[in-house]
Amino acid sequence: MSMQPSVQPMTVPLVDDEPPVSLWRDAWHRLLRNRLAVAGLVIVVLLAFVAVFGPWLTPYDFLSQDLNARNQLPSLAHLFGTDDLGRDVLSRVIYGTRTAFVVAVVVTAVAVVIGVTLGAMAGFFGGWFDRIVMWLTDMTMSVPNLLLVVVINASLKGPAMAWMEARYLETLNPFYRETVWVDFLLVFGSMALISWPPYARLVRAQVLSIRGRPYVTAARALGLTNRLILTRYVVPNALGPLIVSVSAGLGTAMVLESAFSFLGVGVNPPTPSWGNMISDGLRVWQHYPHLLAAPAAVLGLATAAFSFLGDGLNDALNPKGSK
């Protein structure tokens, strides 16, 4: 044959002209191309900024009452108006944002730490440990959330308050008069208790699936240690769905905090929370709609922002699954 192709061992690279792109950077670019997700991200960042720098942003102290300016409609002096005690609603909403973020971040962080640790160990080691963890998640998820929180509040709040009171009388340390810490502790504790099981399940499923991937077997065949395999192979590849879940979880935690405060089992007045502001506003909404509208609108905005961001992250991090 005159045209027999000769042996040509070199390959022609396909991607010579472009810089290397890691999957993370690829996902980031995909996220930035999603308008709703970018809007969500901007709102989340703004709200976080407000939460962190709240005390320097508020025009008034959130507790200071001005009995001469009660129940005012929004004006230049009070952009969101004032409430029945003459407190500036904008300042209270800003502090409510702080409350919502503190609760959401702390609760989600605690839930993620518990969930990821238990889930990863259950998935990696299996056996009796796995069965116990799965049994625990099933048990926790089968108890109605609200019931659990109400029970915790009802049974622990009284004794905790009494203990604080006793400590104060004993030491006269002003710290023990700040009963808001009891509120926070109970809210954090009970919400973390009901929030970790989904993370544990997600991470366990991820670890189970990644543990069976050929690249993990390949790493074992190279002789790598379990620790290296977990940190370099399993965890980075399990992170995508976890990030999506955490973004959604932060939004959920904010809604939960508001719901509990609304029902009076969360953060209690006078500490502002969107939930207890909505609760107060609801009683007088026919006369002073702004008292309900301001916290409700901000809560809605925050929830929508986290939801858009979560969807966008999901599309960006799992591009195949979402098409």
Partner 1 sequence: MTAPAQDKPLLDVRGLTIEIDSRRGPAIIVDGIDLTVAKGETLGVVGESGCGKSLTMLSLVRLLPNKIRVKSGTADFAGRDLLKMSKAELREVRGGKVGFVFQDPMTSLNPVMRIGDQLAEPLIYHRNLSKAEAKDKAIELLRLVGIPAPEKRIGAYPHELSGGMRQRVMIAIGLACDPELLIADEPTTALDVTIQAQIVDLVRELRAKLGMSVVWITHDLALIAGLADRVAVLYAGTVVEDAPVDELFARPGHPYTRGLLASIPKLTDERTARLASIGGTPPEPGRRPAGCPFAPRCTLSEAICHERVPALEPLGTPTHRVACWVAQRQIREAA
Partner 2 sequence: MAAAEPLIRVENLVKHFVVRLGAFGEVGATVHALDDVNFDIMEGETLSLVGESGCGKSTTGFTLLNLHKATSGKVMFEGENIVSLDEKRMRPYRRQLQIVFQDPYSTLNPRMTVGEAVGEPILFHRLATKVELPERVARLLGDVGLPARFASRYPHELSGGQRQRVAIARALACEPKFIVCDEAISALDVSIQAQIINLLLDLQQKYRLTYLFIAHDLAVVRHISDRVGVMYLGRLAELATREQLFSNPLHPYTRALLSAVPEADPIIEKTRRRQILTGDVPSPLDPPAGCRFHTRCPIAMDVCRRVVPEWRDVGAGHHVACHAVGAVAPG
Give the one residue of 65, 117, 179, 237 binding partner 2; rule: CB under 8 A.
Answer: 237
Question: What is the residue whose two structure tokens read 């998820």?
Answer: 141
Give the one residue of 4, 6, 11, 286 binding partner 2; rule: CB under 8 A.
Answer: 11
Coil, helix or strand at residue 77:
coil
User: Does 147 interact with partner 1 (rule: CB under 8 A)?
Assistant: no
Facing residues of 88 across strands?
82
**Comparison of 139 and 218: residue with beta carbon closer to partner 2:** 218
Calpha distance 317→234 (Å, rounded): 16
Query: How far is C-alpha 137 from the geometric centre of its chain's CA atoms?
Result: 19
User: Does 22 interact with partner 2 (rule: CB under 8 A)?
Assistant: yes
User: Does 127 interact with partner 2 (rule: CB under 8 A)?
Assistant: no
Q: Please name which of 232, 203, 204 lies closest in space to residue 216, comparing C-alpha atoms.
A: 232
DSSP 82: B
User: Does 11 interact with partner 1 (rule: CB under 8 A)?
Assistant: yes
| Residue 38 C-beta: closest distance to partner 2, Å | 24
User: Does 68 interact with partner 1 (rule: CB under 8 A)?
Assistant: no
**Comparison of 12 and 172: residue with beta carbon closer to partner 1:** 12
| Residue 130 C-beta: closest distance to partner 2, Å | 12
- How many residues touch partner 1 (CB under 8 A)? 14
Of these partners, partner 1, partner 2, none, which one is at the site of residue 127 (CB under 5 to 8 Å by kind)?
A: none
Give the one residue of 221, 227, 286, 320 binding partner 2; rule: CB under 8 A.
Answer: 221
Of these partners, partner 2, partner 1, none, which one is at the site of residue 221 (CB under 5 to 8 Å by kind)?
A: partner 2
Calpha distance 257→267 (Å, rounded): 8
User: Does 14 interact with partner 2 (rule: CB under 8 A)?
Assistant: yes
Helix, strand, coil percentages, rounded to 5, for the chain: 70, 0, 25
Tell me the two tokens of residue 75: 């004006």
Of these partners, partner 1, partner 2, none, which one is at the site of residue 1 (CB under 5 to 8 Å by kind)?
A: partner 1
Buried b (16+ CB within 10 A) or exposed e, 248-267: bbbbbbbbbbbbbbbeebbb
User: Does 67 interact with partner 2 (rule: CB under 8 A)?
Assistant: no
Question: Residue 202 corresponds to which amino acid?
Answer: L
Give the one residue of 62, 199, 233, 306 binding partner 2; rule: CB under 8 A.
Answer: 233
Question: Residue 210 corresponds to which amino acid?
Answer: I
